[in-house]
């Protein structure tokens, strides 16, 4: 026996070999072969390498999932200005492993106090662009209040530590990526109109014309670094009061907008009750109204479970047909009933009840597609009568749909965060508050500018989502936690995505891919996608979605198939219930990365 024999190895090396062997055995006994790298500590998935690195840094410093998520969210605000930012808002689910409880924070933007129902309507018609571009589209931002509240209530590290990576990133600058260019392309005219946005996010060509900077160009944001430093020092006051607030209001006012100092100083986040359901024995917690996403997630999963008790397969036209029909109906409910529950009477519990889901599933013809027009909501069930149009939109929704971002984190202790945050459209309203670097959202577009008229995502919403001062616009964002079958208090999957109206379907498909398909989390996230949202009456399939024969079979059932290149950006962390190992996946459709602790 030579010196390299097992017995002769130093005890530390031996321990390491044993540990590695144990890991291999653990992985072999685990039911699902995971393509992703296993982590024994915390794991994170975000849409930007610097945000994932910041999150990992917090975990390495002994911080928990919330410290990591907040650090990542602030970095995302800097390096992904086209997706989210301190001028935006969002939702988070936070699971505390010790108590087994999950809290939900709604820090979405609200309509300014001077907002009116018809503020985007002139001569009886919605003015194109008014709710998406420029100061009138800006709702009162909630991101800073939300991130800080998460940190104060559930985090462990000091504010200065958690904000440091974002401040550093703003000073150092962000490298323009292909994604930056693609999203700026769609917003070029809008960005050119705002002097600060033009100065920060565009560059000049030889003729002095503002153009999109090339890949690799460095976008520095010293003003934003100062704003973040003020937040780091003074907390929410550094944003909602003092000079930053004044600069925001001055910029908005100068352009004819309506956000006031009082709107900012009185902004409050809202704690909500998680929406609870289950799928094939797994407990699911997701986002309640004002998100419409969670309701759709539970309704469609519920219908799939009922219609396909033996399991679901995306390879089979009959299964896909049932899924699409369930979606169609879920989006009808969304159009009819969903809005801010503090302002509208939203029958949430009824919508996710077993009885209602059974009715929804029971109304599906397994052989034939139902025409969306046949499902037009009637006055019953809507408030003040429905004005939903029977004309499908002719609007062509933006194809890529990645302008929002999601962060999924599970730490070593099993605490988990699913946080989705946005400035709505790419680069929000394209308005940067002078001297602050704060890019403001255009979340007002998520209201029904006129009930029945589609918004930027082609979504038609109704009376419960009409504009009202202080009201939260209806959202699709669906941060979701799926729990282990063996222990319904242990998180198995944290997931979410951008994609406007396609967010719930991306979340549903990742969950189904894991639970029904037995896929590892990387594959579950990578798989092709299918979407329907009732109006327009089209079945969308992405590039990797379905085989030609499946599409033909669906067309034969009466579906209008539309091929869309791709959409969404699922960010997910999976915890193997058998081994406790974590696996993370960042959607290859975007530029993110998943990381973890060994």
| 223 touches ligand DON by CB under 6 A | no
Backbone angle region of 480, left / alpha / beta, with phi > 0 → left and psi within -120 to 50 → alpha: beta
Q: Which stretch binds ligand DON (CB under 6 A): 3-11, 20-28, 301-309, 499-507?
A: 499-507
Distance from C-alpha of 476 to C-alpha of 356, rounded to nearest angstrom: 21
CB 410 within 8 A of CB 594: no
| 294 touches ligand DON by CB under 6 A | no
| 424 touches ligand DON by CB under 6 A | yes
Minimum CB distance to ligand DON, residue 404 (Å): 3
Across 513-566, the runs of DSSP E, i.e. the strands, are 530-531, 539-541, 561-563
| 84 touches ligand DON by CB under 6 A | no
Closest to ligand DON by CB, 135 vs 492, is: 135
Q: Which of 132, 404, 421, 480 is catalytic?
A: 404
Q: What share of the chain is helix, strand, coil (3-state, %, to 5)?
A: 40, 15, 45
List the alpha helices (DSSP H) in 173-241: 178-186, 188-193, 195-201, 222-234, 237-240
Closest to ligand DON by CB, 91 vs 574, is: 91
| 498 touches ligand DON by CB under 6 A | yes
Applying CB under 6 A, what is the total number of residues that bind ligand DON? 15
Distance from C-alpha of 377 to C-alpha of 79, rounded to nearest angstrom: 42
CB 441 within 8 A of CB 252: no
| 137 touches ligand DON by CB under 6 A | no
Could you give the string, one character per residue 439-468, with x where binding to ligand DON holds by CB under 6 A and - elsewhere?
Answer: ----x--x----------------------
Q: Which of 146, 339, 500, 536 binds ligand DON (CB under 6 A)?
A: 500
Minimum CB distance to ligand DON, residue 426 (Å): 8
Residues 351-410 contacting ligand DON, CB under 6 A: 401-404
Determine how β-strand 561-563 pairs with β-strand 539-541.
parallel
| 422 touches ligand DON by CB under 6 A | yes
Distance from C-alpha of 124 to C-alpha of 82, rounded to nearest angstrom: 32
Q: Which stretch binds ligand DON (CB under 6 A): 263-271, 362-370, 496-504, 577-585?
A: 496-504
- Residue labelled with tokens 């009116």: 116
Q: Which stretch binds ligand DON (CB under 6 A): 223-231, 348-356, 375-383, 474-482?
A: 474-482
Minimum CB distance to ligand DON, residue 428 (Å): 10
Q: Which of 363, 298, 307, 286 is nearest to 334 (CA)?
A: 298
Distance from C-alpha of 173 to C-alpha of 175, rounded to nearest angstrom: 7
Minimum CB distance to ligand DON, residue 390 (Å): 24
Minimum CB distance to ligand DON, residue 320 (Å): 23
Could you give the string, one character per residue 475-494, with x where binding to ligand DON holds by CB under 6 A and - elsewhere?
Answer: xxx-----------------
Give, to the nearest 10 degrees, the angle between helix 159-172 and helix 143-154.
140
Minimum CB distance to ligand DON, residue 423 (Å): 8
Q: H/E element holding 327?
A: helix 317-337
How far apart, in Å, do the first and last CA atoms of the chain sit? 32
CB 96 within 8 A of CB 154: yes
Q: Which stretch binds ligand DON (CB under 6 A): 64-72, 124-132, 183-191, 497-505?
A: 497-505
Active site residue 269: no
Longest dimension (CA), the chain: 92
Closest to ligand DON by CB, 450 vs 476, is: 476
Minimum CB distance to ligand DON, residue 331 (Å): 13
Distance from C-alpha of 326 to C-alpha of 302, rounded to nearest angstrom: 9
Q: Which of 467, 398, 442 is nearest to 129 (CA)?
A: 442
Minimum CB distance to ligand DON, residue 441 (Å): 8
7 burial via Cβ count (<10 Å: 0-12, 13-18, 19+): exposed
Q: Which stretch binds ligand DON (CB under 6 A): 38-46, 347-355, 470-478, 521-529?
A: 470-478
User: How many Cα atoms within 13 Å fall on the side-chain side of residue 158?
Assistant: 6
Minimum CB distance to ligand DON, residue 499 (Å): 5
Closest to ligand DON by CB, 296 vs 515, is: 296
Closest to ligand DON by CB, 404 vs 586, is: 404
Closest to ligand DON by CB, 155 vs 500, is: 500
The residues of the shown chain that bind ligand DON, judged by CB under 6 A, are 401-404, 422, 424, 443, 446, 475-477, 498-500, 503
Residues marked as catalytic: 404
């Amino acid at each position: 026996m030579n010196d390299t024999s097992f017995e002769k190895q130093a005890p530390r090396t031996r321990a390491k070999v044993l540990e590695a062997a144990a890991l291999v055995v653990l992985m072999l006994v685990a039911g699902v072969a995971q393509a992703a790298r296993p982590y024994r500590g915390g794991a994170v998935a975000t849409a930007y390498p610097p945000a994932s690195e910041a999150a990992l840094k917090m975990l390495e410093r002994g911080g928990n999932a919330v410290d990591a998520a907040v650090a990542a969210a602030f970095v995302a605000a800097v390096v992904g200005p086209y997706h989210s930012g301190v001028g935006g808002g969002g939702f988070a689910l936070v699971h505390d492993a010790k108590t087994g409880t999950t809290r939900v924070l709604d820090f979405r933007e609200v309509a300014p106090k001077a907002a009116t129902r018809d503020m985007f309507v002139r001569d009886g018609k919605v003015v194109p662009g008014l709710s998406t571009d420029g100061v009138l589209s800006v709702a009162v931002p909630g991101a800073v209040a939300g991130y800080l509240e998460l940190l104060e209530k559930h985090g462990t590290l000091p504010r200065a530590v958690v904000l440091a990576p974002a401040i550093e990133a703003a000073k150092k600058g962000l490298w323009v990526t292909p994604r930056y260019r693609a999203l700026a392309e769609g917003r070029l005219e809008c960005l050119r109109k705002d002097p600060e946005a033009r100065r920060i996010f565009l560059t000049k060509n030889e003729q002095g014309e503002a153009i999109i900077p090339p890949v690799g160009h460095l976008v520095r944001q010293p003003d934003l670094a100062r704003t973040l430093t003020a937040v780091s020092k003074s907390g929410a006051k550094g944003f909602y009061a003092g000079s930053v607030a004044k600069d925001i209001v001055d910029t908005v006012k100068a352009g004819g907008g309506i956000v006031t100092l009082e709107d900012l100083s009185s902004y409050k986040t809202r704690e909500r009750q998680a929406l609870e359901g289950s799928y094939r024995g797994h407990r699911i917690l997701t986002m309640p109204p004002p998100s419409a996403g969670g309701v759709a997630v539970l309704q469609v999963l519920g219908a799939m479970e009922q219609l396909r008790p033996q399991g679901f397969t995306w390879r089979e036209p009959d299964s896909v047909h049932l899924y699409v029909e369930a979606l169609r109906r879920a989006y009808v409910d969304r159009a009819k009933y969903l809005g801010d529950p503090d302002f509208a009477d939203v029958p949430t519990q009824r919508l996710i009840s077993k009885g209602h889901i059974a009715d929804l599933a029971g109304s599906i013809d397994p052989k034939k597609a139902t025409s969306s027009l046949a499902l037009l909501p009637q006055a019953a069930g809507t408030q003040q009568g429905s004005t939903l149009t029977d004309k499908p939109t002719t609007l062509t929704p933006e194809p890529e749909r990645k302008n929002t971002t999601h962060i999924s984190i599970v730490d070593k202790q099993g605490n988990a965060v699913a946080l989705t945050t946005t400035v709505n459209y790419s680069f929000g309203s394209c308005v940067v508050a002078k001297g602050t670097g704060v890019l403001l959202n255009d979340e007002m577009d998520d209201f029904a500018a006129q009930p029945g008229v589609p918004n930027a995502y082609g979504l038609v919403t109704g009376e419960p989502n009409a504009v009202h001062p202080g009201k939260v616009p209806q959202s699709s964002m669906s941060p979701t936690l799926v729990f282990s079958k063996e222990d319904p208090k242990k998180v198995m999957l944290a997931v979410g995505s951008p994609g406007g109206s396609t967010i719930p379907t991306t979340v549903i498909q990742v969950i189904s891919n894991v639970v029904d398909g037995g896929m590892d989390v990387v594959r579950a996230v990578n798989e092709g996608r299918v979407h329907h949202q009732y109006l327009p009456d089209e079945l969308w399939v992405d590039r990797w979605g379905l085989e030609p024969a499946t599409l033909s079979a669906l067309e034969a059932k009466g579906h209008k198939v539309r091929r869309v290149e791709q959409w969404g950006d699922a960010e997910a962390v999976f915890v193997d219930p058998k081994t406790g190992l974590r696996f993370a996946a960042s959607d290859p459709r975007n530029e993110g990365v998943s990381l973890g602790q060994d």
